[in-house]
Structure 1
Amino acid sequence: MSSTDFNTEKPSFSSKRERFVVKALAMLSLVRWYNVFVLTCALYLSAIYMLNSGVSNIYILKDIYLHMNVLGISCLIMAGYIINGFYDFEKDMINHPEQTIFGRVVSKSFCFNSYVFLLLLGLGLSSFSGWKVFIFNVVFSFGLWFYSHKLRKKPLTGELGATLLTVSPFVSISIYYMTTNLTIGLFVGYIFALTVTREVVKRMVSLKGDLIVGEKSIPIIFGIRNCKYIILSFMIASMIMIIVLFPKILAQDISYYFGASFATIFISTFILRASKTPTQFDRINKIYKALIVLAIGSIFWY
């Protein structure tokens, strides 16, 4: 099936200003500005409250190279979303036809040029933060492309790859400060478990599109029943992470989040058991999306 099989009729615009505004909004949607904003906040919170505990917030925020690294990572992630959109075009036309950007609002050539610009800008900015950070971000940007081009369509490998790329920006910040500890490692491991769970659940939601385009996703390869067991195993892994982490943060306000998240994940196991339709699986997807966003916000109380 080719992209020409889909309706990509371009909308008409009454003025150049309207065309510019619609294109700008379309690009913001394409680069997932909300996800990038949340991740940017998470990187700053990690730098202030996790990696530089006891250091003045003003002193940390005066570091121009920190801002360059964070902005560089944000550019690389936006570039990653654009290139991923190229390879997800056909499936998106099936699962979310009204949200598909390519060929309707902005041209593929414009999007590709934007990808190259953001990629070079991101690498250029990160180069000011030291050669170790630069090398890591080069590998990270290559990983974003390799995931979109190769790993995305492979069962489980694609989900694990997407998850590793999600937590990689935190590694970049840790490399910049050359510091880490067991608590931070467990926290990142918890985020990893949440994210990979959500990635597999999203495959259940997009099952129809995967079937039509012939993508070999986990539910198609292993079946819905076995896929539920895979999701359950990652849910249990998340709860184990919380149990191990809890004694280390018991005296801190962040413990309230982890207590609530443990209860939420536990309840989600029962929702998973009863889920049969994409809509029902999407409830778990939304729950886990909220858990991830709240986990990032909870860093403030670390």
Structure 2
Amino acid sequence: MNSEKETFQEENFVSKSLFYRFSQLVGFLLGARFFVAILLTFALYVSTFFLFNQEESFRNFVFDFKVHGIIFCTVLSILSGGIINQFYDFEKDHIVKPFRTRIQSFIKQKYFLYAYLALSIISLGVASFISYRVLVFFIVYQFFMWFYSHKMSRILIVNNITFVSLTLYPFFGMMVYYETFSKKILLMAIFLFLILLCIDIVKDTLTKSVDKTFGYVTIPNYFTSKNTKTIIISLLMITMAVSMKLILKTGTSGFMAYYFSLGLFIMIACIYLLLNSSKKSKFFTLNILRFWVFVGIIAMLLNGIEGKL
């Protein structure tokens, strides 16, 4: 009888230990925004090969270890940036993201900081082996990710522009690396900047009161609801204008032409939802725009494959 009881206690202890370790892993992945990093890595590979590097063959691209090294450093920098951001936003996330902070509580904050330092150092170490220019590029990137989390995330308008700029910074680096400058790429960059800016401002409308409590001066908690709505709708209308320019003036064809054409209707749908000031409509708008960015990556991939065939 005692033997069975001891066996049960041992099994129970093992199961609790495994659950604890699994929770620690999930907490770390969420804290580092691992899944966001995966999506950005996928987007970087697609845009690098099919947009910035159209002359090189797939074989040469696969064995271009310098490019893979830059993307590897980017991923580590994104992970470290996610960690330092959640470190500074920890109190706010307790209210905004209770489930995620509950999972993250299985790991002490000091271990997140150790991970942040380790990822940053490894990233800069690999970058130094590639070239001194790449090293400087990532020093600037990591500094501004830290400075954004530490200070800039609380400053009106600067917070939104900096967040979106940091998201696009690796893509800008690849564009410079391949010296791929054209009107089409510039307009696509403006389109992506505007849609990401809309996403960030809409996201802020959902955390308006919490941001104000913790001293984050955002567009929704500084301006009236009517003015905030006007700003977002104006940005969506400018995005529509850029889409039309891409379709009519740059010779965009294939899946990307369909993407920008259908995007006009997506923007109109988002404007219609925003005219309804309910929290549910803002949530739908946020997720529609996020999904549309992902659709854009897939459209670029399919367009690139079609062009290579």
Query: Same fold by TM-score, threshold 0.5 exceeded?
Result: yes
State the 1:175 CA deviation: 2.7
User: Residue 34 in 1 paired to residue 35 in 2?
Assistant: yes
* Counterpart position of 1:96: 97
* Counterpart position of 2:178: 177
Letter in 1 for 2:56: V
Letter in 2 for 1:182: K
Letter in 1 for 2:62: L
Q: Deviations over 1:12-52 (max 9, x none)?
A: 98444333222112111112222111110111111211112
In structure 2, distance between residues paired with 1:160 and 1:295: 21
Give the share of equivalent positions with the same residue, in percent.
Answer: 26
Are the structure 2 counterparts of residues 118 and 256 from structure 1 closer, same or farther at C-alpha, using a change threshold of 3 Å? same
Q: Is the 8 Å Cα contact of residues 73 and 169 (structure 1) preserved in structure 2?
A: yes
User: Residue 251 in 1 paired to residue 253 in 2?
Assistant: yes
User: Residue 47 in 1 paired to residue 48 in 2?
Assistant: yes
Q: Is the 8 Å Cα contact of residues 27 and 105 (structure 2) preserved in structure 1?
A: no
* Counterpart position of 2:289: 288
* Counterpart position of 2:10: none
* Counterpart position of 2:154: 153
* Counterpart position of 2:79: 78
Q: Is the 8 Å Cα contact of residues 203 and 217 (structure 1) preserved in structure 2?
A: yes
Matches within 5 A, 1:224-239: 224-239=225-240
Q: Is the 8 Å Cα contact of residues 163 and 192 (structure 1) preserved in structure 2?
A: yes
Of stretches 162-171 and 252-261 in structure 1, the one that deviates more from structure 2 is 252-261
State the 1:151 CA deviation: 0.8
Q: Deviations over 1:97-148 (max 9, x none)?
A: 1211587111100000000111111122223333222212211111101111
In structure 2, distance between residues paired with 1:62 and 1:23: 36
1:264 to 259, 263, 266: 266
Letter in 2 for 1:265: M
Letter in 2 for 1:272: L
Letter in 2 for 1:51: F
State the 1:219 CA deviation: 1.3
In structure 2, distance between residues paired with 1:126 and 1:298: 31
In structure 2, distance between residues paired with 1:128 and 1:208: 46
TM-score of the pair, normalised by structure 2? 0.88
* Counterpart position of 1:189: 190
SS in 2 for 1:253: helix
Letter in 1 for 2:270: S
In structure 2, distance between residues paired with 1:175 and 1:129: 15
State the 1:246 CA deviation: 1.1
Letter in 1 for 2:65: I
User: Residue 274 in 1 paired to residue 294 in 2?
Assistant: no
State the 1:200 CA deviation: 0.4
Q: Is the 8 Å Cα contact of residues 76 and 122 (structure 1) preserved in structure 2?
A: yes
Q: Structure 1: any 5+ residue segments left out of the alignment?
A: 1-11
Letter in 2 for 1:253: F
Of stretches 107-116 and 41-50 in structure 1, the one that deviates more from structure 2 is 41-50
In structure 2, distance between residues paired with 1:270 and 1:185: 28
Letter in 2 for 1:176: Y
In structure 2, distance between residues paired with 1:252 and 1:272: 31
SS in 2 for 1:100: helix
SS in 1 for 2:254: coil
In structure 2, distance between residues paired with 1:70 and 1:176: 12
Q: Is the 8 Å Cα contact of residues 30 and 104 (structure 2) preserved in structure 1?
A: no
Q: Structure 2: any 5+ residue segments left out of the alignment?
A: 1-12, 305-309
Are the structure 2 counterparts of residues 102 and 146 from structure 1 closer, same or farther at C-alpha, using a change threshold of 3 Å? farther
Letter in 2 for 1:264: I
In structure 1, distance between residues paired with 2:208 and 2:14: 35
Q: Is the 8 Å Cα contact of residues 65 and 128 (structure 1) preserved in structure 2?
A: no
In structure 1, distance between residues paired with 2:133 and 2:220: 39
* Counterpart position of 1:204: 205
In structure 2, distance between residues paired with 1:122 and 1:181: 30
Of stretches 196-205 and 115-124 in structure 1, the one that deviates more from structure 2 is 115-124
Q: Deviations over 1:241-286 (max 9, x none)?
A: 1111113244332111111111101221111111232x32111110
Q: Which has the larger radius of gyration?
A: 2
* Counterpart position of 1:133: 134
In structure 2, distance between residues paired with 1:96 and 1:48: 36
In structure 1, distance between residues paired with 2:292 and 2:52: 22
Of stretches 76-85 and 254-263 in structure 1, the one that deviates more from structure 2 is 254-263
In structure 2, distance between residues paired with 1:152 and 1:146: 8
In structure 1, distance between residues paired with 2:131 and 2:20: 41
